[in-house]
Structure 1
């Protein structure tokens, strides 16, 4: 994230590396001036990028659910620039993303992530075999869960708002003199906000499941 200074990121990475030294077995010795050293660097950089990408997919799934809910509520026009992702996001998607971030801290997701970093050195030793490590991660397995999890999170709100829209459609047929466009949006917005409040407690299990799947990719034993 761009809001965190680069020096803070480097310092945190260095501190985690020092703490992890006492928990890890001896890693393979790679000569510094050999081609294997370049392969080892590429391997570890690839593992780190893959781990960050896997965790980002967890939040992307929740934000996608927010985009779907915002579309059903008619709030996708209320979008703004998100400096953390360099993209336009809707207000509902940003709200879902922030809730997922708070939930990530509450369930000690940051500790699970640090554990995954340490476990990755056991699952992917420093041997320079980047292609084998990439194949072993199976990121595609987590990618396939992204859309299904997003739909599962948004499903209660989709069903609720579909019922509201069907009801408003029936009312417009029964009472054609009613300005359904003036009434429909406030009703949909109110019901949507109440529905979000009621369904937020259901967000914990999908986020926890996705996070565990992401961490398990880097804890596979050889």
Structure 2
């Protein structure tokens, strides 16, 4: 089993019509995974947002920005799969503009993923859970990334969460204007847990750790432009990140 790191990443959060999330996930996992990958991208993860029954969160990646533009054009403009399934997909969607274009915070900070995923007919949901935290920065990205590695990461690890990947906003121009991306400066980190209980235990331990509440988190807060966003995510049956 080999691992691949894809340096251009989109984190996409879709607001859906009430009661339609499972409809979209079934369609997405059946029809819109391999068809996107066939034109040059990698579908990294698909999630249910456990705090919002009408939110679908997913991650896709590209080898570089030029490939991103070409691949998205091939899929959304020229491709038969999107032309066929877009009406059904769009019928579930209220807003799809909440998207961040990201790059690894350092040379070794990107998600490393195994080749392969559960097959198209997979229905078993993994017990694993993901925590994604978005910090909206009021400080240079490189400075915050260094601070995170030196000051934040050790405290998170002691509380049971070792970040598996960290990203920052990619400042390059959007190479596919038909899909807008947000331009805020952000730092995003992901942690993977065996199950929901392990994630809850981490959050409880962190909240009860004086080093975090009295020292580290206040240092984070003074470097931010607004409150952090925390996503509690459950992988779908075909999510590669699980």
Relative to the length of structure 2, the TM-score reads 0.24
Normalized per residue, the structure richer in strand is 2
Instruction: Tell me which structure has the larger Cα radius of gyration.
Output: 1
Normalized per residue, the structure richer in helix is 1
